[in-house]
Amino acid sequence: MALAASAALLCVSAPTAAADNAVLGSTCYQGWYAFTVTAAGGDIPAGSQWTSSWTAASQIPAEYHVLSFPRVIDYTPVNTHLVTLTNPAPIAAGTRVVLEPSGYSLTNKSRLTLKLSGYGGSTGRTFPVGEWPTC
């Protein structure tokens, strides 16, 4: 019983990364709306994950992808509207990563929504009908 209690104390007191190490936001990148992931409260641990998606009423097939600058976050396509994002190595405290979404359909028939969620919360923006995601 004492061994189990000691093990429980060790598990509770072991240092863990808090999700507030990552702050999600948005910016303008090369004239287009983009996401940001900032390592604010410490390093973002390797293997942290996010998902990013777009939504719009469009008949045009798209190949959605999200590139990171600097190239510290990899993307994996899930389908034409969704990707998963993972950092293979820790992202050092103070680092700001810009995530550039592209390959989504632009349409003047419906609103366009771009989203990023996962480690650190979620962010996104909806663009009204006829408004392109430019800045």
With a CB cutoff of 8 Å and minimum separation 6, the contacts of 96 are 36, 37, 38, 39
Predicted TM-score of the model (pTM)? 0.83
Helix (H, G, I), strand (E, B) or coil at 19: helix
Task: Give the other-Cβ count within 10 Å of 123's Cβ.
Answer: 16
Q: What is the mean pLDDT of each run of 10 residues along the chain (135 residues)?
A: 39 43 96 97 96 89 93 96 97 97 90 96 94 92
Which pLDDT score is estimated for 19? 59
